[in-house]
Amino acid sequence: MKRSISLILCIILALGLLCGCGASAPKDAMIAEPAAPAEPAAPAEPAAPAPEMEFAADMNYGYYEEPKYSAASPSDMPMDDSSGSTLPVNTKLIYTANMELETTAFDDATAGLEKLVADLGGYFEYSNVNNYGSYRRGNYTVRVPAQNFEAFCTAAGQLCQVNSISRSAEDVSEAYYDTESRLATQRTKLERLQNLLSMAATMEDIIELENAISNTEYQIELLTGTLRKYDSLVGYSTVNLYIDEVFELTEIEEPVIGFGAKLKDAFKRGSSNFVDSIQYMMLRLARHWVGWMIFIIIAAVVVIVIVTKLRRRKAAKAIPPVSKEENKN
């Protein structure tokens, strides 16, 4: 009996020890060695800000969101323009050139210009030839593809002598993309107004919405026309040419340095100007010889009449006066 009781007590004690160990396990786990600190996470990139929105009332039918666009920034990808410089791909440039030319073979120069324009894919926007006496002056406005702008200016300078040339490039990128964004806004507005029109219930609301649609369509037409104009000016460069027909090409000299060289150049220019003046006077006489002949004849008649009168007066004074006694005899 004592053995049985002792065995039962041992079993109870053993069960108590087992329960105590099981209950202390979680506590030991909580006292476990701390884990190594985790590496700090990389800071997250800030989210791109949402585009600003403008809320515009629409004919008392609620509100619609009208995006507020800004001009698109040009890409950083490079491109080569007609002058060889590197520009962003979205840059919108309008190239213009003015050229003062002269030639002794006007017909050949104009024929070469027409062929050059056709070969480079351009066209004449304006053409006019004036005849000043025996010499002509041609005024031309030529439109050529922007990629052929420099090639055209170089080739035109080979047809005639270039006295002056000026080039300009106008950057209209900001205005172009602003117009493009405004056009997208107006199209979005038109679509929403049309949706509102389909839900309108009263005639008054329908009339107001139709007026708003009409105004929006007008704005779309204006903006579309502006973009087409920009596309035309950017795609086709403008070159204004003034070609003078001359008897002799203007001598283009290098700048003179030094007093001796300047004095020599002054004498040379003086003699050249004197010869040119004589030639000019002779040419004017040749062009207006009929008028000059009439003038010379009239002048000669006047001179003859005056000389005749003077001679008569002189002869009358030379005759001695007759005395009274001679008259009586």
Total domain count for the chain? Answer: 1
Residue 131: pLDDT band (50, 70, 90) is confident
In a domain, 194, yes or no: yes
Mean pLDDT to the nearest integer, 96-114: 94
For 131-162, letters b (16+ CB in 10 Å) and e give eeeeebbbebebbbebebbbebbebbeebbbb
The pLDDT of residue 192: 95
**Residue that is written with structure tokens 């950017």 in the block:** 234
Q: How far apart are CA 90 and CA 77, in angstroms?
A: 9
In a domain, 183, yes or no: yes
Q: Name residue 54's beta-bridge partners.
A: 66
The pLDDT of residue 42: 45
The pLDDT of residue 269: 73
Please report which helix (H) or strand (E) contains residue 73, including its range. Answer: none
In a domain, 195, yes or no: yes
Check whether 132 has a pLDDT greater than 90: no
Residue 22: pLDDT band (50, 70, 90) is very low
In a domain, 272, yes or no: no
In a domain, 103, yes or no: yes
In a domain, 121, yes or no: yes
Mean pLDDT to the nearest integer, 263-285: 76
In a domain, 80, yes or no: yes
Could you tell me the residue range of the domain that residue 177 belongs to? 50-265
Check whether 78 has a pLDDT greater than 80: no
Check whether 120 has a pLDDT greater than 70: yes
Q: How far apart are CA 50 and CA 47, in angstroms?
A: 9
pLDDT digits over 155-168, tens only?
Answer: 999 999 999 999 99
Contact status, residue 56 vs residue 68, Cβ threshold 8 Å: no
In a domain, 248, yes or no: yes
